[in-house]
Homo-oligomer: A and B are copies of this chain.
Amino acid sequence: MEHGIDFGPFLLAFGSALVGAKIFGALAERVGQPAVLGELLAGIVLGPSLLGLVPLSEGVFLLAEVGVVLLLFEVGLETDLTELLRVGAPAMAVAMAGMVFPFGGGYALTRALGYEALTAIFVGAALTATSIGITARVLSELGVLKTREGQIILGAAVIDDVLGLVVLAIVSKIAQTGSLEPAVAARSAVFAIGFLLVAVAAGIPLGQWLVRIVGPSNVRGMLGGAAVAFALLVAWGAKKADSAPIVGAFAAGMALARTNRRHDIDHALKPVVDIFAPLFFVSVGAQVDVRLLNPGVAENRPALLLGLGLTVIGFLGKFAAGFFAWGKVRRSFIGAGMVPRGEVGLIFASLGLADKALPERVFVAVLVAVFATTFVTPPLLKLLRPREASRPHPAGAAA
């Protein structure tokens, strides 16, 4: 059964991407890092610039995109909409400050180094979103998820994620039209926020209806299949509405999170995400040309210096945001909790690369910043952990 895409090399790429993702993921966790970092490293190792087992082929990209859509659906499914409203004001302040500082700093530095405005926008945007997955996992491991600090961090990370996806939709629109006209940006913002609001508002009753219809069925795989179909169709709607498919998948997840079958859906979804999401991170890693990371080569140095600068900006911008919280809380801990980037930052970066808005060297610089901020967080959070939480409770597991 040959249909344009050669199935042999595709099987090899898919199989070895999965092997690499699991091996490097396990190694990353062994040294106290999130598995996603290992998956990115696996991509670098398996990609064309080293082993060449995972080519940058159509088939790999298609499955990687399916993977990231399913991943954002899962993140949405684990996002509590009422949580967003409850943590309220301080979380919002932290989230806003944590977007403005890194975006402004990243934009200014990139422009100062002579890159064009579109590139600078992508760089700034890639630094805005805290990784909710990584944050939640680290907080849970430290047993501080239920503290006031933990709740503010989580709330801010959720707001951050939603705003990040809105920024993503705007930025990808700008990249497609190639222009920076405020009217276009404003229209994109209205579309992106509008689509998200409509999708969630319409998705909640639709999701309830869906679960009521398919919930009692005992056809094998009915609930999970219906939920994934729902996510794919909302993702398709997002693309039709000039937003991003992952925004749609996230909205579909948040809508289904409010049904009484949320946990069953999540349970059916996890094994699927476990297989396909790593393919996204491996394919992102595979786009890194390691030769560009060698500081011995003179022409690499500007990008590496940019990466160092972005790391400092990315770190300080989020850390400072923590001090915008109020109440009897350890603000340094909140700031540290906002530092890790991860999925959304990587999505921005690879979107920028695919749309030719980010030159490859700048893409590498952004990856350096995403990696470094994520690497530095777990030990820092351990160090700054608020005293009340020194007797870790058996953590109401998150994520």
Question: A residues engaging B (CB < 8 A)?
Answer: 1-5, 7-8, 10-12, 14-16, 18-19, 21-22, 25-26, 29, 35, 58-59, 61-63, 65-66, 69, 214, 217, 219-222, 224-226, 228-233, 235-236, 239-240, 245, 268-275, 278, 350-351, 354-355
Q: Which residues in B have their C-beta under 8 angstroms from that of A220?
A: 35, 270, 274
- CB-contact partner of A219 in B10, B22, B350, under 8 A: B22
Q: Which residues in B have their C-beta under 8 angstroms from that of A225?
A: 18, 21-22, 274-275, 278
The 5 nearest A-B residue pairs measured at CB: A221-B274, A15-B232, A18-B229, A3-B61, A11-B236
Additional A-B contacts beyond A16-B229, A228-B275, A268-B274 (7; CB < 8 A)? A3-B58, A3-B61, A18-B228, A29-B219, A221-B275, A224-B271, A269-B271
Contact in complex: B226, A22 (CB < 8 Å): yes
Output the nearest chain B residue to A231 by Cβ-Cβ distance: B15
For this complex, 19 residue pairs linking A to B, each with C-beta atoms less than 8 Å apart, are: A1-B65, A2-B354, A3-B58, A3-B65, A5-B61, A7-B62, A7-B65, A7-B239, A8-B236, A8-B239, A11-B235, A12-B236, A14-B66, A15-B230, A19-B233, A26-B222, A225-B278, A268-B271, A272-B272
| Copies of this protein chain in the complex | 2
Please measure, in the bound complex, the distance between the C-alpha atom of A217 and the C-alpha atom of B274, giving whole angstroms.
14
Q: Separation in Å of the A98 CB from the closest CB of chain B?
A: 26
Q: Which residues in B have their C-beta under 8 angstroms from that of A8?
A: 236, 239-240
Q: Which residues in B have their C-beta under 8 angstroms from that of A245?
A: 7, 11
Q: Which residues in B have their C-beta under 8 angstroms from that of A222?
A: 22, 25-26
Please measure, in the bound complex, the distance between the C-alpha atom of A383 and the C-alpha atom of B272, giving whole angstroms.
40
Interface residues of chain A: helix, strand, loop or mixed (majority): helix
Question: Which of A69, A226, A228 is packed against the most chain B CB atoms within 10 Å?
Answer: A228
Please measure, in the bound complex, the distance between the C-alpha atom of A12 and the C-alpha atom of B35, giving whole angstroms.
31
Please measure, in the bound complex, the distance between the C-alpha atom of A12 and the C-alpha atom of B221, giving whole angstroms.
20
Contact in complex: B274, A1 (CB < 8 Å): no
Please measure, in the bound complex, the distance between the C-alpha atom of A12 and the C-alpha atom of B25, giving whole angstroms.
32
Please measure, in the bound complex, the distance between the C-alpha atom of A8 and the C-alpha atom of B238, giving whole angstroms.
9
Q: Separation in Å of the A262 CB from the closest CB of chain B?
A: 15
Output the nearest chain B residue to A354 by Cβ-Cβ distance: B1
Contact in complex: A221, B270 (CB < 8 Å): yes
Please measure, in the bound complex, the distance between the C-alpha atom of A5 and the C-alpha atom of B63, giving whole angstroms.
11
Q: Separation in Å of the A84 CB from the closest CB of chain B?
A: 25
Contact in complex: B62, A1 (CB < 8 Å): no
- CB-contact partner of A26 in B4, B19, B219, B270, under 8 A: B219
Q: Which residues in B have their C-beta under 8 angstroms from that of A12?
A: 233, 236
- CB-contact partner of A229 in B22, B214, B235, B272, under 8 A: B22
Please measure, in the bound complex, the distance between the C-alpha atom of A1 and the C-alpha atom of B350, giving whole angstroms.
8
Please measure, in the bound complex, the distance between the C-alpha atom of A364 and the C-alpha atom of B355, giving whole angstroms.
44
Q: Which residues in B have their C-beta under 8 angstroms from that of A35?
A: 219-220
Question: Which of A15, A235, A351 is packed against the most chain B CB atoms within 10 Å?
Answer: A15
